[in-house]
C-alpha cells in the first residue's frame, strides 16, 4: 500500500490535480475542471496538427526513400554479379552471391520498382 498522498486511483489523482489547479488559479473546482478540460482539448488539437505535419512529411519523402532502397538493392546486385577476380560463370561456387541471394535481390528490386511506378 502506498503512503498517504503518494498515489491512489486515477479518479483520486484527477481530483487532486483539479483541487491543486483550483487553488493555483483562485477558482472553484468545477471551473478548474473545465479549464483543465480546455487545456486537454488544446493539447489534442496541437498533437493532431503535429501528426498531420509528420504524415505530410512522410508522404513527401516516401517516394524518394523507395527509390533510394531500389538503388541500394541494385548496387548490391551489381556487386554480386561482378565477373572479375576469379569468377567462373560455369561454377556457381565461385560466384560472389549464391543463386538464392541473386533471386532474392532480383525479386526485391522488382517489387521496389513496382512500388516506385505506383507513384
Contact between 80 and 98 (Cβ < 8 Å): no
Overall average pLDDT of the 3-17 stretch: 78
pTM as predicted: 0.55
Is residue 2 pLDDT above 80, yes or no?
no
The residue to which cell 486537454 is assigned: 40
Residue 41: predicted pLDDT: 92
Contacts of 67 (CB under 8 A, 6+ apart): 116
Q: What burial letters (b/e) apply to 39-51, b meaning 16+ CB within 10 Å? A: eeeeeeeeeeeee
Nearest residue to 71 (alpha-carbon basis) of 34, 116, 36: 116
pLDDT confidence bin for 5, thresholds 50/70/90: low
Amino acid at each position: 500500500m502506498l503512503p498517504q498522498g503518494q498515489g491512489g486511483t486515477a479518479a483520486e489523482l484527477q481530483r487532486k490535480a483539479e483541487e491543486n489547479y483550483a487553488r493555483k488559479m483562485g477558482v472553484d473546482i468545477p471551473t478548474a475542471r473545465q479549464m483543465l478540460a480546455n487545456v486537454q482539448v488544446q493539447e489534442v488539437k496541437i498533437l493532431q496538427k503535429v501528426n498531420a505535419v509528420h504524415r505530410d512529411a512522410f508522404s513527401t519523402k516516401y517516394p524518394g526513400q523507395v527509390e533510394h532502397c531500389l538503388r541500394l538493392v541494385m548496387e548490391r546486385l551489381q556487386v554480386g554479379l561482378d565477373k572479375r577476380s576469379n569468377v567462373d560463370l560455369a561454377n556457381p561456387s565461385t560466384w560472389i552471391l549464391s543463386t538464392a541471394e541473386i533471386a532474392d535481390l532480383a525479386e526485391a528490386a522488382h517489387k521496389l520498382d513496382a512500388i516506385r511506378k505506383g507513384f
